[in-house]
Chains A and B, each alone.
Chain A
Amino acid sequence: AQSVTQLGSHVSVSEGALVLLRCNYSSSVPPYLFWYVQYPNQGLQLLLKYTTGATLVKGINGFEAEFNKSQTSFHLRKPSVHISDTAEYFCAVSQRRALTFGSGTRLQVQP
């Protein structure tokens, strides 16, 4: 069975700072991993995904994530956040039929 743990339900940073959102997974098969962003009262938008190949994955809006098999992690980071990055972020692992999501991390970017 697969599961996803996101450490830190709320993260607050200043605009321009580096942000790191943590995600650890467990999977009995080679994992496919995803990060999604959700703005208030909207659906989820795909930021990036890891399937195979290079472990550093670049996504939209300047976000990137690194797949670390030995640590079973897929942390998301952005070198310099903007106020518009304020949103909730979800890590997910692909099961055979459906994605399993973490509980989410709410990112607040302060001016």
Chain B
Amino acid sequence: SQTIHQWPATLVQPVGSPLSLECTVEGTSNPNLYWYRQAAGRGLQLLFYSVGIGQISSEVPQNLSASRPQDRQFILSSKKLLLSDSGFYLCAWSVSRDYGYTFGSGTRLTVV
């Protein structure tokens, strides 16, 4: 069966520090991978998606970047965090438009 792992679960980071969030998928090949952010009281904002190794599409200009070094690994990074980067970050995978997404358990990031 397919599983998705996302870590860490919670993170408190000072302003200006770097960030690396990792997401891995098991049990499927060549998935579409997604990073969403959920800010307090707001819906889900698509940040990045990837349809293959090294292929990253950015939806919103921001302080973040994403990479896909392996087929089932998706990394969200920042060189210098801002207070506005605080939120709940969710990784998801899918295989087709009608399949829907399977989400990871999320990372709660607080920038202080």
Please choose the segment from A69-77, A79-87, A100-108 that sits at the chain B interface, where 4 or more of its residues have CB less than 8 A away: A100-108
Interface membership of B100, Cβ < 8 A: yes
Chain A 16-56 near chain B by CB (<8 Å), digits 1 or 0: 00000000000000001010100001111110010100000
Interface residues on B, range: 20 to 34
Assess the B108–A90 pair: CB atoms within 8 A: no
With an 8 A cutoff between CB atoms, is B61 at the interface? Answer: no
Find out whether the CB atom of A49 lies under 8 angstroms from the CB atom of B105: no
What count of chain A residues pass the 8 Å CB interface test?
Answer: 22
Q: Which residues of A contact B (CB under 8 A)?
A: 32, 34, 36, 41-46, 49, 51, 90, 94, 96-104
Any chain A CB within 8 A of the CB of B46? Answer: yes
Q: What's the least CB distance linking B25 to chain A, in Å?
A: 13
CA of A45 to CA of B105, assembled, Å: 10
* A43 engages B104 (CB within 8 Å): yes
Residue of A nearest to B45 (CB): A101
A36, chain B: closest CB distance, angstroms: 8
Question: What is the CB-to-nearest-CB distance from B41 to chain A, in angstroms, rounded to a whole number?
Answer: 9
Question: Is B101 interfacial (CB 8 A cutoff)?
Answer: yes
The smallest beta-carbon distance between A11 and chain B, in angstroms, is: 16
Contact A42 B49 (CB under 8 A): no
Closest to A42 in B: B105
In the complex, are the beta carbons of A43 and B90 less than 8 A apart?
A: yes
| Interface pair B42/A44, CB less than 8 Å apart | no
Q: How far is the CA of A43 from the CA of B106 in the complex (A)?
A: 6
Report the bound CA distance from A96 to B92 in whole Å. 16
Nearest chain-B residue to A52 (Cβ)? B98
B103 and A96 form a contact (CB under 8 A): no
A43-B103 CB under 8 A given contacts A101-B44, A103-B43: yes
